[in-house]
Chains A and B, each alone.
Chain A
Amino acid sequence: DVKVTQSSRYLVKRTGEKVFLECVQDMDHENMFWYRQDPGLGLRLIYFSYDVKMKEKGDIPEGYSVSREKKERFSLILESASTNQTSMYLCASSSARRNEQFFGPGTRLTVL
């Protein structure tokens, strides 16, 4: 069965902290994605990666960075968390040959 896991379901951090969100997929997918989801704004793409050590900016990359050192793992980093980064963060992966993206359970991040 397809499996995408995220390191935390819920996370509470303070303004200015460095935050790491980790995502692991076990499907040998080439592509991995990070989204945030906010009421009224839908799913917005932050960054994606189509290969190890490769990354591309999505629609809202400001304030975020990513790391992909291994094919199965894609990390999202908030260098200095701010309250406007309070959101649901969703990781997804897809095969280079097929187009469906498979999502993890999400991390609800609250920045105080």
Chain B
Amino acid sequence: EDQVTQSPEALRLQEGESSSLNCSYTVSGLRGLFWYRQDPGKGPEFLFTLYSAGEEKEKERLKATLTKKESFLHITAPKPEDSATYLCAVKTSGSRLTFGEGTQLTVNP
């Protein structure tokens, strides 16, 4: 059974304090790893797709990386508006995604 575990569950940072969120996975044949951002009361917003170990994607202060067992979402010099829950998901076969439970990030000014 595919499993996705995100850590930490919650993270509090000061504005400008860089950090990383982790997504570890146990799957039989990864066919894509996805990062989403979700604001309270809203639907998840797609951020990145990674397909193979060593791949990196960047968007503003966010950079996602992928190894054979985990993915990291690095946040550089975060701002309060980066506060959200970040979800990771994996695709193994078919059209379904398996989601982790997310990391709730709070960035204090």
Q: Would you call A112 an interface residue if the criterion is a C-beta within 8 Å of the partner chain's C-beta atoms?
A: no
A101 touches B42 (CB 8 A): no
Q: Would you call B45 an interface residue if the criterion is a C-beta within 8 Å of the partner chain's C-beta atoms?
A: yes
> Which residues from B are CB-within-8-Å of A60?
none
- With the chains together, A40 CA to B34 CA distance in Å? 20
- A residues bordering B, Cβ < 8 Å? 4, 31, 33, 40-43, 45, 48, 50, 58, 88, 90, 92, 94, 96, 99-106, 108
- With the chains together, A31 CA to B99 CA distance in Å? 17
A42 touches B43 (CB 8 A): no
A42 touches B99 (CB 8 A): yes
Q: For chain B residues 54-85, which have a beta carbon within 8 Å of chain A?
A: none
> Which residues from A are CB-within-8-Å of B100?
42
- B residues bordering A, Cβ < 8 Å? 31-32, 34, 36, 41-46, 49, 87, 89, 91, 95-97, 99-102
Between A and B, how many residue pairs show CB distances below 8 Å?
50
Instruction: Select B95's contact among A4, A88, A96, A108, beta carbons within 8 Å.
Output: A96
- With the chains together, A99 CA to B31 CA distance in Å? 9
A50 touches B87 (CB 8 A): no
- With the chains together, A41 CA to B100 CA distance in Å? 9
A105 touches B43 (CB 8 A): yes
> Which residues from B are CB-within-8-Å of A41?
101
CB distance from A60 to the nearest CB of B (A): 13
- With the chains together, A99 CA to B95 CA distance in Å? 7
Q: With contacts A94-B95, A99-B31, A100-B34 known, is A42 near B41, CB below 8 A?
A: no
**Smallest Cβ-Cβ distance to A45: which chain B residue:** B96
CB distance from A104 to the nearest CB of B (A): 5
> Which residues from A are CB-within-8-Å of B34?
99-101
B96 touches A103 (CB 8 A): no
CB distance from A13 to the nearest CB of B (A): 19
Instruction: Select B43's contact among A48, A94, A96, A104, beta carbons within 8 Å.
Output: A104
